[in-house]
Chains A and B, each alone.
Chain A
């Protein structure tokens, strides 16, 4: 079977298109690379959507944690503590078992004049259930990063804003938030990379791969189990992720340059990837 044919059969297998059964024999390099690459679609989906939603949540968490009002601060502190202090793996299990316990038919919410039924079945599926966990998890980690950056905003910037009579929402929008982003960005880049790495845990942690539609690592472990040969499938996953990491770094690097465009050239710090520093 030619590689083009394999690509047509398995290129979108992880979404349920193409060949129904996973390959049972052959297991050549092309087959493994195509199917694992197809699994990367899920990793990208989880990573991109979770980072997007998590970004907004994280801003709220950071502001709540920096708030003087204990009703906002305490919940944010606990949220960050729980999601940063426990393993993501356990969080996946925990949420999955909770979602399973929700009534299958949905929850009825009486509103007096009418009753709306909240469908809950979709939460046990990986595409939604795992996404909830990933969003909350990245919101906690990113929230902590943003909070740290918020506290590191130079006093002079804020005093200058005061001197110009910039206050309230205007001050936040024009002074505080951009500086916070600029300071947090290197650490946030790390978090983004970790987020993509964390997506490989989804199908190993309770969430079932419906009709064998799994992510890259799911297919890699399928091949490794079928061929008793870990030296092909796992390096392929590793290669895909190295490419993804490089893409993330260059993309975030572009944003970082944009955020730093007003800073004098010689004092700019370059975006470096330090994997061990944040988690």
Chain B
């Protein structure tokens, strides 16, 4: 990257390290931290929305919708989440390709599943085999986001369902007595009060989500784990301009510190958020805040 890095063999000490850490591959490594943050930023709102939808479905008066909500919230109990991370992307990919196959190639006569093969017509491939590399990467990432969102949406639905039940019944009955419709009660009374009960659970969930991000590696995405293994492996003089021994343990140490920093920071942020949300709530924390100000 720098002009002084033109001849790596002549470098020593700090300048060697600076040049080493700014090679093209290392820049990709740094960018992959962004991939992780992007995954968190995209997944969290989708999962929250899915969770909210799931929790609303379990409260629904319409029975099939309620069953759907129950099945969704019960789905992730008892089954390791990594099974879903492996299952959902392939299942979704094959489902989409199959749909496109039915639409785009109606006169294709051969069966899609032939023995141990899954064959769709070339026009139905996702992304098309002629598509540029970045499209493949974006597609793989999008599938990963969906897998994460579905699993964490189910967890969030559990939390939010519990929080909705935790809102004091008297509050809802009062709203009823004032002549609010069920819809108004839900929007104006239940949802605003629910968050303070949901927050401990959602905090926990966010922590689990952070700690689940390295599983991107299992999905074949070039994330921080991939680059840590790639860059840390020992390099000989012939293969690389910067030969070094097996440094993977140091790279993973960096990742460990990154995750520790992330979880610690989240803890601090959530502690403040909890304080904010407790304002004016009929809970012990809310009462303590009220006493402190008067």
Contacts and interface: CB of A to CB of B under 8 A. Distances in A.
Interface of A: 25, 27, 81-82, 84-91, 93-94, 97-98, 100-101, 193, 196-198, 200-201, 204, 217, 220-221, 224, 226-231, 234, 237-238, 241-242, 244-246, 273-279
A246 B78 contact: yes
Contacts of A238: 79, 83
A241 B80 contact: yes
A27 B80 contact: no
10 tightest Cβ-Cβ pairs between the two chains A and B: A245-B78, A197-B80, A97-B249, A87-B211, A228-B118, A234-B87, A85-B263, A89-B214, A230-B90, A94-B252
Given A97-B246, A241-B80, A276-B159, A85 B90 contact: no
> At the interface, is chain B mostly helix, strand, loop or mixed?
helix
A14 B117 CA distance: 26
Contacts of B80: 196-198, 200, 217, 237, 241
Contacts of A198: 80
B265 to A, nearest CB: 11
Contacts of B138: none
Which of B81, B86, B94, B232 has most A Cβ within 10 Å? B86
Sorting the interface of chain B by its residue count into under 10, 10 to 19, 20 to 34 or 35 or more gives: 35 or more
Interface string B198-213: 0001001101101111
A224 B215 CA distance: 18
Contacts of A98: 249
A72 B255 CA distance: 27
A277 B246 contact: no
A198 B208 CA distance: 13
B205 A197 contact: no
B225 A93 contact: yes
B291 interface: no
B86 A276 contact: no
> At the interface, is chain A mostly helix, strand, loop or mixed?
helix
B259 A86 contact: yes
Contact of A89 (B162, B208, B225, B232): B225
Contacts of B94: 228, 230
B91 interface: yes
A98 B162 CA distance: 42
Contacts of B248: 93, 97
Given A97-B246, A241-B78, A276 B260 contact: no
Nearest to B207: A279
12 contacts: A85-B260, A87-B259, A97-B248, A97-B252, A193-B78, A200-B83, A228-B116, A228-B117, A230-B90, A237-B80, A245-B78, A279-B204
